Structure 1
């Protein structure tokens, strides 16, 4: 059965239970995730022994706030709408992804998942050759694209097929605010606030390739069909990755029923596991298969 038929089979009480949001669950996870960023950031900031070794773990913790930003797009990590909005905007600044633009971009992705003609994620093609793969994982093209995107939006060029006209002013002003904040951050670094570079800028650059590798597994090698159990991958992984990614390795389940908050996805997985058609036993397996299928 496809994802729509599966959701219809769920008892109404089960649906209610699965889609119940919780400020407590969200704040608990946010406190833990933010706590690791704070601990690692302080370790780097004070120049503790071997502090350089903490830069990559710190960067991974920061860039994976993208998965929380993603959740706020669906308004699911917290019950309070204002909390979802505030956390989403903060994560947006930290991971350098325009909030309102990403909301509409991502919802269009959900509506047209893996549709070559309509999924906006596929406007950036998946790597085909080994060289493409290496270039993609390096995150260098990502940084170039996001810089161009924010600059273009700040100039007022915000039109996109998935972006409603009413949202265009917000997208433009958010881009301008982001540029102003990043310019201020650079100025502060140049005037002696070096910890901003060491605790945020450099770690984010070092962590981004890990996020690129993670995100590629969500739909890479999946067929361009309408069934979310086929066009989206669930990757079986360890608790650390599930923690950092807010349970989004259960990605087919998330696409099948986006209203389910992160803390209920393991429960949804237990109900939908027999329906999954695109899975990998870990990210090493996925990337090994992906690389073996690329053109030399």
Structure 2
């Protein structure tokens, strides 16, 4: 056999092996470099995110009544507040920072701001990664996949998300976790304590608002989050909707190129297929990892408008 034929055969064998085990596409050496976590990069990202929340929130608070300025500020403020889901998610993976204690603290407070409980979510999300798009096992598949225009706008409204979070926090606070197989018995007490503490924070904020006679809780948290959730739902719909219902990490998750501000506030999560293929890669290294993996992904789209157009055009035909 000629050397050229041997080379071609080896390339074919390598490609076949990678298809059978996509997580071997990157070498051990490449992955070890990409996996390097950084407290500095995580803090810079977090400070930048909080600065956007602070600046837009200040404009919203000081220009009430000046609607041409206040409304855009409210939208930015609400969206950046809802996007605290992203650092909660990243720190929940313990990849946002090199220090695990810092990851846990940031994840919890980011969850408070975005109405997620990070202690519960970490276990829930672990199963989502373990059983991504596997019917009957992936807990995210219990979320509504829109089958018609009414359900599409219902999902975008955020109403099902609010109901799920309110019911979920209530049940967790009461210790009713029997329908949550992703939470082991050894973690139930921690989840209950964490949820109760989070609800106590909200109760304290409401009490302060009533004590001073100002609608602070509503104006600076609840209303902005209500405004920001539809934008976040618009983005999160694109992560898996319309992708394959199987365990193939190259076909069951989407890459979506988007505007830099969205990429920033989402902590590079629009490169979602990279994250699912190698969840150990921190947010700051995903743009570096994508070119090394780009040829292997099936779903790569140029923008969330295009993704949602695809979803709308295929309502009732999407796997769910």
Smaller-chain TM-score bracket: over 0.9
Report the TM-score when normalising by structure 2. Answer: 0.88
Select the residue among 53, 56, 74 that pairs with 1:37: 53
Q: Secondary structure at the match of 2:239?
A: helix
Select the residue among 220, 223, 228 that pairs with 2:244: 223
Q: Does 1:232 align with 2:248?
A: no
Q: Secondary structure at the match of 2:59?
A: helix
Whole-angstrom distance in 2 between the partners of 1:150 and 1:11? 41
Q: Does the C-alpha gap of structure 1 residues 123 and 9 become closer, same or farther in structure 2, counting only changes over 3 Å?
A: closer
Whole-angstrom distance in 2 between the partners of 1:11 and 1:150? 41
Q: Does 1:171 align with 2:191?
A: yes
Which is higher, the Rg of structure 1 or of structure 2? 2
Whole-angstrom distance in 2 between the partners of 1:3 and 1:100? 34
Q: Secondary structure at the match of 1:266?
A: helix
Counterparts of 1:1-296 in structure 2 under 5 Å? 5-47=21-63, 49=66, 50-159=69-178, 160-191=180-211, 192-295=213-316
Q: Secondary structure at the match of 1:218?
A: coil
Q: Please provide the CA RMSD for this pair.
A: 1.7
Q: Does the C-alpha gap of structure 1 residues 9 and 144 become closer, same or farther in structure 2, counting only changes over 3 Å?
A: closer
Deviation at 1:4, TM superposition (A): 6.8
Deviation at 1:190, TM superposition (A): 2.4
Work out the number of aligned pairs and report it: 296
Deviation at 1:295, TM superposition (A): 4.2
The 4+ residue runs of structure 1 with deviation greater than 6 A are none
Whole-angstrom distance in 2 between the partners of 1:138 and 1:52? 18
Q: Secondary structure at the match of 1:235?
A: strand
Contact 2:256 2:300 in 1 (8 A): yes
Deviation at 1:117, TM superposition (A): 1.2
